[in-house]
Structure 1
Amino acid sequence: MLDVITIGEVLIDFTPSGRTARGNEQFECNPGGAPANVAAALSRLGARATLISKVGDDRFGSLLHDTLMNGGIDVSALSFTDEANTTLAFVHLDDNGDRSFSFYRKPGADTYLRTQDVPFDRIENC
């Protein structure tokens, strides 16, 4: 029995991590996506959580799957697709530290989540 089910995007956030010697911005690869972040936070608090989402059948999708699993999140409703790559988001910070995002999803794997991917029986028993 699950305590919480989240549904939606899980993606890779590329967050600023300094600059090269030439002044080019560097980015660090981090798991992200609000529904995944909620599942991760609740799992750390002891809840039994799962995420219903879709990732690409690529290295980023595998990274997200493994990160969720290692965080104690049930990944049985996380599916893979070869129709699109895992969605990427580049995070930009302005001088005040406010964030903006550039998404790379044309389309992204998370947009391929379909009704048949949703385990309605698990939702009913949550």
Structure 2
Amino acid sequence: MSRIRGRNTGPEIRLRSLLHRAGFRFRLHVKDLPGKPDIVLPRYHTAIFVHGCFWHRHAGCRNTTMPSTRTEFWQKKFDGNVERDRCNRVALEGAGWTVITVWECDLKADALRIVNRLSSEIRKTT
């Protein structure tokens, strides 16, 4: 698990590239915000989290599998991740931020559709 990166993952870099090409300027991993969002658009007061389906338990996704060994450990770890994500979202929304979660599998399937959806969601906040 020590080799699993929490920042600058492939899906995150891909989304950043697409957002930049769409004209958005952003900050990365802002430490002052709850959960250190992967992408922060200060102009639009929007925080974006890029979640991996396995680690953050994307409901109904085929990538949300359970390891066959030490299931009790893994269940506790996954539950903690989901609860932490929920608390971070609530804290950000309570502070007036718009929070968007982009799932790894959705980004792989149709990245341009995701960016178009994000663009409309982000721009309607202003």
TM-score, scaled relative to structure 2: 0.31
Identify, as 1 or 2, the structure richer in helix.
Answer: 2
TM-score, scaled relative to structure 1: 0.31
Identify, as 1 or 2, the structure richer in strand.
Answer: 1
Q: Which protein has the larger Cα radius of gyration, Structure 1 or Structure 2?
A: 1
